[in-house]
């Protein structure tokens, strides 16, 4: 999809707004969208509806005025949450973007035994940068859902804080014998998928998963980059859940 078509995501809903000249959204509307008075732009409100708005004024002081002319529901988040061994910041950036663009409901990070403590101290996490990545991902996909994000100091702590009732599958290249789709029960309505950091889960972490009732599954015999594995796992799980929902809907 052409960049100029992307949605502009706002934190708070409004009917009319005046954006200051130095607001990045103003820059986007003026320079990327090259909007004129009367132009229509696509908006979204974080975790709320999407909207079409009209540019009602491009003022001499550089500010921009918008008025909402129609709203519609945004796509619902996928019934999928991810539990991720905290990866390198460069990888985490990509995952935040991709997960938000795919509509993942929530992202639970934990420091993993084969990760590095320095990962959690990166500017990605100590500044607002992680939120910017989520926002950009949602804007890319014309979604408004911003995944909830948590960070736990270790896997067991993360698991203790997770919601219950979701089908739980840990992706693992070493000991899993079933492919992901086969590990999600046929009647599952939601899934919690765990993926390790670049160097994978440790033997102790695999035990933690088993003790907590997780199934181990794989994505095939290849070693994928963590960000590729995240997208692949979400797509495979979403496809299985959606295929069933669609079959129910059309086949009765």
Residue in the structure block whose two tokens are 């993360």: 158
Instruction: Give the ranges where 68-202 is alpha helix by DSSP (H).
Output: 89-102, 123-126, 129-140, 155-160, 180-183
Stretch that binds its own copies, among 11-19, 51-59, 126-134, 140-148 (CB under 8 A): 140-148
Out of 140, 156, 190, 202, the residue judged to bind its own copies by CB under 8 A: 140
Answer whether 101's CB lies under 8 Å from 74's CB: no
Which of 46, 55, 52 lies closest to 12, judged by CA?
46
Out of 9, 102, 134, 155, the residue judged to bind its own copies by CB under 8 A: 102
Residue in the structure block whose two tokens are 């295929």: 243
DSSP state of 75: P
Out of 46, 58, 182, 188, the residue judged to bind its own copies by CB under 8 A: 182
Stretch that binds its own copies, among 121-129, 154-162, 206-214, 229-237 (CB under 8 A): 229-237
Q: How far apart are CA 7 and CA 24, in angstroms?
A: 14
**Minimum distance from CB of 58 to its own copies (Å)?**
27
Q: Which residues does 44 contact at the CB level (< 8 Å), separation at least 6?
A: 7, 8, 9, 10, 50, 51, 74, 138, 139, 142, 143, 144
Quick check: 174 binds its own copies (CB under 8 A)? Answer: no
Nearer Cβ to its own copies (26/79): 79
**Minimum distance from CB of 98 to its own copies (Å)?**
6
Q: How far apart are CA 192 and CA 146, in angstroms?
A: 17
Stretch that binds its own copies, among 115-123, 154-162, 176-184, 208-216 (CB under 8 A): 176-184
**Minimum distance from CB of 223 to its own copies (Å)?**
5
Quick check: 220 binds its own copies (CB under 8 A)? Answer: yes
Stretch that binds its own copies, among 25-33, 53-61, 150-158, 221-229 (CB under 8 A): 221-229
Stretch that binds its own copies, among 64-72, 94-102, 118-126, 159-167 (CB under 8 A): 94-102
**Minimum distance from CB of 56 to its own copies (Å)?**
27
Q: How many binding residues for its own copies (CB under 8 A)?
A: 44
Which of 174, 171, 173 lies closest to 182, judged by CA?
171
Q: How far apart are CA 7 and CA 143, in angstroms?
A: 8
**Minimum distance from CB of 233 to its own copies (Å)?**
7
Q: How far apart are CA 146 and CA 137, in angstroms?
A: 9
Residue numbers at the binding site for its own copies (CB under 8 A):
1-2, 5, 75, 78, 98, 101-103, 140-143, 173, 178-182, 198-200, 219-225, 228, 231-236, 238-240, 242-243, 246-247, 250
């Amino acid at each position: 999809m052409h960049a100029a078509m992307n949605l502009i995501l706002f934190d708070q809903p409004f009917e009319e707004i005046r954006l200051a000249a130095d607001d990045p959204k103003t820059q986007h509307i003026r320079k990327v969208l090259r909007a004129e008075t009367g132009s229509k732009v696509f908006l979204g409100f974080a975790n709320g509806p999407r909207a079409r708005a009209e540019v009602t004024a491009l003022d001499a002081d550089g500010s921009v005025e918008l008025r909402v002319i129609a709203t519609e529901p945004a796509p619902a988040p996928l019934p999928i949450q991810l539990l991720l061994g905290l990866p390198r910041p460069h990888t985490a950036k990509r995952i935040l973007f991709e997960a938000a663009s795919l509509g993942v409901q929530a992202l639970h990070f934990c420091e993993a035994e084969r990760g590095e403590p320095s990962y959690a101290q990166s500017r990605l996490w100590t500044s607002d940068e992680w939120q910017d990545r989520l926002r950009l991902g949602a804007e890319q996909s014309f979604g408004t859902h911003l995944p909830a994000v948590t960070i736990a100091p270790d896997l067991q702590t993360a698991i203790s804080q997770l919601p219950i009732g979701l089908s739980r599958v840990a992706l693992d290249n070493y000991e899993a014998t079933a492919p992901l789709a086969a590990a999600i029960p046929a009647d599952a309505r939601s899934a919690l998928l765990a993926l390790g950091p670049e160097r994978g889960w440790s033997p102790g972490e695999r035990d933690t998963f088993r003790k907590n009732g997780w199934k181990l599954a794989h994505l095939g015999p290849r070693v994928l980059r963590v960000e590729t594995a995240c997208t692949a796992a979400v797509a495979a799980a979403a496809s299985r859940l959606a295929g069933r929902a669609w079959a129910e809907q059309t086949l009765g």
